[in-house]
Amino acid sequence: MKNGEMWKDIDGNDIQAHGGCILKHGESYYWYGENKGADNCPGTTRVDVIGVSCYSSRDLVNWKYEGLALSADKDDPQSPLHPSMVAERPKVLYNEKTGKFVMWLHLDDSRYVYAGVGIAVAERPEGPFRLTCAKQPNRQDSRDMTLFKDTDGTAYLIHSKDWNKTLNIAKLSGDYTDVDGMYVSVMQDQEREAPALCFHNGMYYMITSGCTGWSPNGALFARCPHIMGKWKLIDNPCEGRNYRRTFEGQSAYIFEAGGRKWLMLDHWKRFDLKNSGYSILPVEFDSDHNMTVRWTDEWNGLPLI
Ligand code: GAL
């Protein structure tokens, strides 16, 4: 699979899973993302909400389309999942205590003023997910967001707030279906979005983009020894052609596979969003807690170990 390009599923159809995440459950990987498989609304940089796609794979290369895990709500014009709204950056975690799959996503109106999240729950990884709540977490605005599950099973919502000026890290309730009220504001006034987190050798790392809409900009990584501590912005982790523009992409998620961390990128085509490409790139760490994301031309799935 060529990094930066549109990828196909095993039936030869375009993979529609933008702004996504990859969850391992059992022997399979599940890729969730925005289904943008329609033309942009004329003259705009948006596609009507279709829903959240789910794909499954054992090798991270051969992806089977499992259908829409969460579907737009066409019939109810008041629904936060109505096609005229915005539903972005879906992230899914498995909750060991409840045995349920919990999805959080950015829900908004077409002008990105509402700025909230949706929470949806399913019995199976493929869904169907049922929207249980749409809200502003801790009564704060929330645009780009991700979820992070810590080694002890505690999960966090990381979201841009104050019109993207600051990021919040908000602890989730034990069943992951709500915030529990505890949060910290980090990287204040740094204007970062598209957060993607991981934990490696006693350190938490977060890659973010700047706020330039669908246009690429320079990624930065931040780190902190405590998830709710004082995060420090460090540097651009990217190395390779176009490293100052995140290889013409934007961070979506960091997942673990084959004992390594991988960064998923979206390569947005703002006037033709359905053809936005993907990359999966290796993430490396050194003993000084520096993080490097190196460009590779291809994604070939799990390296043979
Ligand atoms: C980006 C964001 C995308 C989408 C876009 C809309 O900054 O990362 O997820 O919201 O803006 O312009």
d(CA 265, CA 296): 12
Flag whether pLDDT at 151 surpasses 50: yes
- Residue-wise pLDDT for 13-32, tens only, equals 999 999 999 999 999 999 99
How do the domains of the chain map onto residue ranges? 18-298
Q: Which DSSP category does 275 fall into?
A: G
Q: Whose CA is nearest to atom 7 of ligand 1?
A: 213
Confidence of residue 302 (pLDDT cuts 50, 70, 90): confident
- Does the pLDDT of residue 303 top 70, yes or no? no
Q: Find residue 189's DSSP bridge partners.
A: none
Nearest CA to ligand 1 atom 2: 213
| Across 166-177, average pLDDT | 98
Residues 293, 286 contacting (CB under 8 angstroms):
no
pLDDT greater than 90 at residue 194: yes
Residue 266: predicted pLDDT: 98
Structure confidence by residue, pLDDT tens digits, 1-10: 999 999 999 9
Domain spanning 18-298: CATH 2.115.10.20? yes
Ligand 1 center–CA 304 separation, angstroms: 35
CA of 133 to the centre of ligand 1 (A): 22
State in Å: Cα 193 to ligand 1 middle: 8
Helix (H, G, I), strand (E, B) or coil at 78: coil
| Cα 236 from Cα 217, distance rounded (Å) | 10
Please provide the average confidence, as pLDDT, over all residues in the chain. 97
Q: 33 alpha carbon to ligand 1 midpoint, in Å?
A: 14
pLDDT computed for residue 24 by the predictor: 98
* Half-sphere exposure at residue 225, Cβ-oriented, CA atoms within 13 angstroms: 2
Q: Name the residue of 47, 160, 167, 193 whose CB sits within 8 Å of the most ligand 1 atoms, as the mutation to test its pocket.
A: 193
Structure token digits, residue 2: 């060529």
Judged against a pLDDT cut of 60, whether residue 305 lies above it is answered with no
Q: Atom 12 in ligand 1: which residue has the minimum CA distance?
A: 213
Find the angle CA(87)-CA(93)-CA(96) to the nearest 5 degrees: 150
Q: For the chain, what is the largest distance between any 2 Cα atoms, rounded to a whole number of angstroms?
A: 54
Q: How much is the average pLDDT of 205-210? A: 98
Mean per-residue pLDDT, 215-221: 98
Ligand 1 atom 5, closest CA:
213
Kindly state the average pLDDT of the residues 236-247: 97
Q: What DSSP string describes 157-206?
A: EEEEETTTTEEEEEEEPTTSSSEEEEEEEESTTS-EEEEEEEEETTEEEE
The one-letter code for the residue type at 282 is P
Cis peptide preceding 303, ω within 30 of 0:
no
Q: For the chain, how are helix, strand and coil distributed in percent, rounded to 5?
A: 5, 50, 45
Please tell me the distance from the alpha carbon of residue 94 to that of residue 215, in angstroms, as a whole number.
32
Kindly state the percentage of the chain with pLDDT values over 70. 99
Residue closest by Cα to atom 8 of ligand 1: 194
Q: What is the mean pLDDT of residues 158-178?
A: 98
C-alpha distances out from residue 59 to 7, 36, 62, Å: 15, 24, 6
User: How many angstroms does the Cα of residue 95 sit away from the middle of ligand 1?
Assistant: 28
**Which atom number of ligand 1 is nearest to the Cα of residue 108?**
10
Instruction: Work out the average pLDDT over 157-174.
Output: 98
23-82 pLDDT, tens digit per residue, is 999 999 999 999 999 999 999 999 999 999 999 999 999 999 999 999 999 999 999 999
Ligand 1, from 21, 49, 88: best to mutate by most atoms within 8 Å of Cβ? 88
**Is 264's pLDDT higher than 60?**
yes
Ligand 1 pocket residues where CB is under 6 Å? 19, 88-89, 144, 193-194, 211, 213-214, 250
Q: Determine how many CB atoms are found less than 10 A away from the CB of residue 154.
A: 14
